[in-house]
Amino acid sequence: MKTLNINEGAFIEEIPLLQVEHLEKSFGEHKVLMDVDFKTYKGDVVCIIGSSGSGKSTLLRCMNMLERPSGGCIYHKGQSINGKPSQVAQYRAKVGMVFQQFNLFNNLTVLENCMLGPKRVLKKSRQEAKDLSIKYLDKVGMLPYINAKPHQLSGGQKQRVAIARALAMEPEILLFDEPTSALDPEMVGEVLDVMRKLANEGLTMIIVTHEMAFARDVSSRTVFMDKGIIVEDESPRILFTEPKNERTKEFLSRFLIA
Ligand code: ADP
Ligand code: MG
User: Per residue in 179-189, pLDDT tens?
Assistant: 999 999 999 99
Q: Cα–Cα distance between 97 and 207 in angstroms, integer?
A: 10
In ligand 1, which atom is closest to the CA atom of 228?
10
- CA 47 centroid distance within chain: 9
Task: Tell me which residue of 171, 168, 166 sits closest to 179, measured CA to CA.
Answer: 166
Pocket test for ligand 1, best of 23, 25, 32, 63 (most atoms within 8 A of CB): 32
| pTM, entire model | 0.95
Rounded to 5°, angle at Cα 245 from 240 and 250 = 70
Residue 196: predicted pLDDT: 98
User: Does the CB atom of residue 159 touch ligand 1 within 6 A?
Assistant: no
User: Does the CB atom of residue 55 touch ligand 1 within 6 A?
Assistant: yes
Q: Cα–Cα distance between 223 and 85 in angstroms, integer?
A: 30
pLDDT at 52 over 70: yes
DSSP state of 56: H
Over residues 237-250, the mean pLDDT reads 95
Task: Tell me which residue of 96, 59, 53, 104 sits closest to 227, measured CA to CA.
Answer: 53
Question: Distance from the CA of 207 to the center of ligand 1, in angstroms?
Answer: 17
Residue nearest to atom 14 of ligand 1 (CA): 53
Task: Tell me which residue of 226, 253, 225, 227 sits closest to 240, measured CA to CA.
Answer: 253
DSSP state of 12: E
Starting from the edge strand earliest in sequence, which strands make up the sheet with 71-76, in order? Answer: 30-40, 18-27, 71-76, 79-80
Question: Distance from the CA of 187 to the center of ligand 1, in angstroms?
Answer: 27
| DSSP, residue by residue, 2-62 | -EEEEETTEEEEPPPSEEEEEEEEEETTEEEEEEEEEEE-TT-EEEEE--TTSSHHHHHHH
User: Per residue in 145-159, pLDDT tens?
Assistant: 999 999 999 999 999
